[in-house]
Amino acid sequence: MILSSAEEKNLYAAISSRYIHPMTHIASPLDSGRVADPSKLIQGRTGLWEIVMGLEVHAQVASNTKLFSGAKVGFGAGPNEQVSLVDAAMPGMLPVLNKYCVEQAVKTGLGLKAEINRFSRFDRKNYFYPDLPQGYQISQLFHPIVGEGEVLVERDDGSSFTVRIERLHLEQDAGKSIHDLDPNATYVDLNRAGTALMEIVSKPDLRSSDEAVAYFKKLRTILIYLGTCDGDMEKGNMRADCNVSVRRVGEPFGTRCEIKNVNSFRFMQQAIEFEARRQIEILEDGGKIDQETRLFDSVKVETRSMRSKEEAHDYRYFPDPDLLPVELEEAWIEDIRKSLVELPDDKKARFISQYGLSSYDAQVLISEQDRADYYEKAVLKLKEFGGRDAKLVANWTTNELLARLAKDGQEISDSPLPPGQIAGLVELIETNVISSKIAKTVFEHMWEGKGTITPAEIVEKHGLKQVTDTGAIEKAIDEIIAANPDKAAEVASKPQALGWFVGQVMKATGGKANPAAVNELLKSKLGL
C-alpha 140: how far from chain center: 26
Name which residue leads in pLDDT, 521 or 463: 463
What is the rounded (10 degree) CA torsion for 367, 368, 369, 375? Answer: -80
Domain boundaries, the chain: 5-337, 342-462, 470-525
Please name the fold of domain 470-525: Arc Repressor Mutant, subunit A (1.10.10)
Structure confidence at residue 36 as a pLDDT band (50, 70, 90): confident
For position 457, what pLDDT does the model report? Answer: 94
Structure confidence at residue 64 as a pLDDT band (50, 70, 90): very high
Is residue 519's pLDDT more than 80? no
In the chain, what are the helix, strand and coil shares in percent, each to the nearest 5?
40, 20, 40
Contact assessment for residue 488 and residue 528, using Cβ atoms and an 8 Å cutoff: no
Q: Mind listing the pLDDT tens digit for each residue in 350-399?
A: 999 999 999 999 999 999 999 999 999 999 999 999 989 999 999 999 99
CA nearest to 415, candidates 402, 428, 427, 431: 402
Structure confidence at residue 20 as a pLDDT band (50, 70, 90): very low
Rounded distance, CA 52 to CA 63, Å? Answer: 34
Contact assessment for residue 294 and residue 258, using Cβ atoms and an 8 Å cutoff: yes
What's the pTM value of the predicted model, to 2 decimals? Answer: 0.84
Q: Within 10 A of 378 (CB to CB), how many other CB atoms are there? A: 26
Phi, psi of 54 (to 5 degrees): -140, 160
Structure confidence at residue 18 as a pLDDT band (50, 70, 90): very low
Query: For the chain, what is the mean pLDDT?
Result: 88
Structure confidence at residue 234 as a pLDDT band (50, 70, 90): very high
Is residue 511's pLDDT more than 60? yes
Instruction: Give the percent of the chain with pLDDT over 70.
Output: 89
Name which residue leads in pLDDT, 9 or 25: 9
Run of H or E including 189: strand 187-189
Run of H or E including 151: strand 149-154
Q: Mind listing the pLDDT tens digit for each residue in 100-148?
A: 999 999 999 999 999 999 999 999 999 888 899 999 999 999 999 999 9
For position 470, what pLDDT does the model report? Answer: 66
Structure confidence at residue 507 as a pLDDT band (50, 70, 90): confident
Rounded distance, CA 200 to CA 229, Å? Answer: 12
For position 307, what pLDDT does the model report? Answer: 77
- Segment 229-249 shows an average pLDDT of 95
For position 527, what pLDDT does the model report? Answer: 65
Q: Mind listing the pLDDT tens digit for each residue in 400-435?
A: 999 999 999 999 999 999 999 999 999 999 988 888
3-state secondary structure of 84: coil
For position 432, what pLDDT does the model report? Answer: 85
For position 485, what pLDDT does the model report? Answer: 74
Structure confidence at residue 8 as a pLDDT band (50, 70, 90): very low
